[in-house]
Structure 1
């Protein structure tokens, strides 16, 4: 085992000379760091002589390099006398990599920096939006070819995705809608009791569930459940180059992968919305019967007079649009996956966020539109 490392400072023909020797390894790092901290370097010219170094690892090389960079930062010109051949390759590798950066001081974020970040983010969002619109155009073209030649559509795949996105989602959608109906009835009755208008809890539950809560919560659940699944499945195929294999064999990924998923979700989501509406009204009814002291027969009669067919259709009309948005974003982000599994996880998360965001934006648009036309 080599002797502990040492460093000596002296004068030479070209300014100060720092001679290093012994073993510059992790085992002696604490003592070596103390010696280097006590070293007084002149801000003119310094020569680092490593010819006497016997053993060196990356920690020792980093300590020497850090000292050299500190001298250079003070204005000194640093010259090197390389170590012996046994340790020269490792030292050069560390020298090329550079010393580990010091902890950067937190600096005040200037307005222009914030403005530049905002501009870059806006540009990125704009580009992604244009790409998504182009993807929607490609999907419309694909459905045009399928309508012209229905045999091009893989109906087995459509039915399989209907089962996965619709039938298998019934338990979670039903439970959430039931509990939301319970919460709406409980909160509504509690607030309306102050005005002696508890009976209007039924009206509130019926209109809220049928117009907004049923479809909105169902779409959010489907975005997190099925939208992410679309991205992960297609993304994994991208990583494994299966999508490229489809193209090589003459198959269009839009027809094989995207169209069945979009069509299946556009069929499943309206059915899930209808189921969610029933479960939400059932949960609200149970809570209303408990709190307001009315019978189920009275609850359904009041509900029938409070809501109309238009109220039910307002929520149901949104379902195919939301399904198109969720499936479109899920497949779009899946086909953008590249490189590694890390990209799959990142874009899967992104597809869920984008899907929910678009659902809420379009829900707000529909609310304003239906209010404007009196529907």
Structure 2
């Protein structure tokens, strides 16, 4: 039977002695510690007997030490070995004073930040290489055995990530083409060469803006979606359950998203090309008075399909980058919502940065090839 914490004062030849009894815990101490402190102030205690204490936790030990004050010297306490060790532990912990953490400043802090940034960059590159290697293994395994492809997942993801993006891609590309046409017409009018706005629109839209706008919109829609979906599964331990059941998460989650974007981005690029040319056509028709037949004829004669194929050649790389970054950030999500939000943000930012960097690299490559 549990007894509440209590004490009694007895007289000894050396002076007053406090005999504690009952359960000295956080839930059973009650006001015994306060009464003991009042008794210790009224009558100096020469000894404290804790052998009759049933259970004592750190809260009870701290309450006893605070109540006894100077009377809590180790040589004045009679207690069992385990109680004595607990009191010693609490006494040492209470004697520790919190120290303020000194924040590094100036040049030292700058070096720390640079060092951490370099270390994090190296870890990020290493983890990326691991992810790419695992994905390549899954791709090779799937090519060797096509029956492993989850066609239902690929089709559903292609519809959500690709076909559902057609309206926003079309609208954005239309306005981009219109803006390019308007700027070109206003600039070239100073030289009496308004007609060359058609070539400007054709080259800009077919070579750069079609794939660039498509990839950036997919980075905002699909990369964030992939990171959020896989990250939420990581938080709820569904991915761990897949591994326990012998299912490779890369084969079940990453590859279908990779394949869906790879298959659908050429269609989106083609739609963006048509929408951009239509926007430029509407501007040249309304501002310069150049009819649709004249516009299309100059596109065929002076621009040609080469620029379109150059733009389309970037599509598989952009799709791989967007899908890979989104899935990788999702796989790196921890167990909290903050980690999920941080990884989703990183997926969008890294995907857009990679798209612009890859587009610049392609531009330099084709310029060196004189295409």
Q: TM-score scaled to structure 2, two decimals?
A: 0.72
Cα distance in 1 for residues equivalent to 2:230 and 2:255: 13
| 1:327-371, Cα deviation, whole Å (9 max, x unpaired) | 001111111111112211110000111111111111111100011
CA drift at 1:227: 0.5
**1:207 aligned onto 2:222:** no
Root-mean-square deviation (Å): 2.5
Point out where structure 2 has 5 or more consecutive residues left out of the alignment: 1-36, 39-64, 70-90
Q: 1:338 aligns with which of 334, 339, 353?
A: 334
SS of equivalent to 1:250: coil
**1:361 aligned onto 2:371:** no
Q: Say whether the 8 Å CA contact 1:166–1:272 is kept in structure 2.
A: yes
Instruction: Report what 1:288 is aligned to.
Output: 284
Cα distance in 1 for residues equivalent to 2:67 and 2:174: 75
Instruction: Report what 1:44 is aligned to.
Output: none
Q: Say whether the 8 Å CA contact 1:177–1:217 is kept in structure 2.
A: yes
Q: Say whether the 8 Å CA contact 1:178–1:279 is kept in structure 2.
A: yes
SS of equivalent to 2:314: helix
Point out where structure 1 has 5 or more consecutive residues left out of the alignment: 1-50, 53-80, 86-91
The 1:253/1:297 distance shift into structure 2, 3 A limit, reads same
Larger Rg: 2
CA drift at 1:263: 0.5
CA drift at 1:318: 0.4
SS of equivalent to 2:246: coil
Instruction: Report what 1:174 is aligned to.
Output: 170
Deviation >3 Å, runs of 4+: 81-85, 95-102
The 1:97/1:253 distance shift into structure 2, 3 A limit, reads farther
Instruction: Report what 2:188 is aligned to.
Output: 192
**1:155 aligned onto 2:179:** no
Size of the aligned set, in residue pairs, is: 287
Instruction: Report what 1:256 is aligned to.
Output: 252
Q: Say whether the 8 Å CA contact 1:218–1:272 is kept in structure 2.
A: yes
CA drift at 1:158: 0.4
| 1:18-56, Cα deviation, whole Å (9 max, x unpaired) | xxxxxxxxxxxxxxxxxxxxxxxxxxxxxxxxx89xxxx
Q: 2:126 aligns with which of 122, 130, 147?
A: 130
**1:229 aligned onto 2:225:** yes
SS of equivalent to 1:374: coil
Cα distance in 1 for residues equivalent to 2:137 and 2:284: 50
Instruction: Report what 1:316 is aligned to.
Output: 312
| 1:126-147, Cα deviation, whole Å (9 max, x unpaired) | 2202211221111111011111
| 1:192-220, Cα deviation, whole Å (9 max, x unpaired) | 11111111111111101111111111101
Instruction: Report what 1:303 is aligned to.
Output: 299
Q: Say whether the 8 Å CA contact 1:206–1:306 is kept in structure 2.
A: no
The 1:190/1:244 distance shift into structure 2, 3 A limit, reads same
Q: Say whether the 8 Å CA contact 1:162–1:267 is kept in structure 2.
A: yes
Q: TM-score scaled to structure 1, two decimals?
A: 0.72
| 1:148-205, Cα deviation, whole Å (9 max, x unpaired) | 1111110110000110111100011111000111111111111111111111111111
CA drift at 1:308: 2.0
Q: Say whether the 8 Å CA contact 1:326–1:355 is kept in structure 2.
A: yes
CA drift at 1:246: 0.7
Q: Say whether the 8 Å CA contact 1:202–1:302 is kept in structure 2.
A: yes
Q: Say whether the 8 Å CA contact 1:209–1:277 is kept in structure 2.
A: yes
Cα distance in 2 for residues equivalent to 1:365 and 1:119: 29
Cα distance in 2 for residues equivalent to 1:99 and 1:337: 34
Cα distance in 1 for residues equivalent to 2:191 and 2:118: 48
**1:328 aligned onto 2:324:** yes
Cα distance in 1 for residues equivalent to 2:363 and 2:259: 25
CA drift at 1:116: 3.0
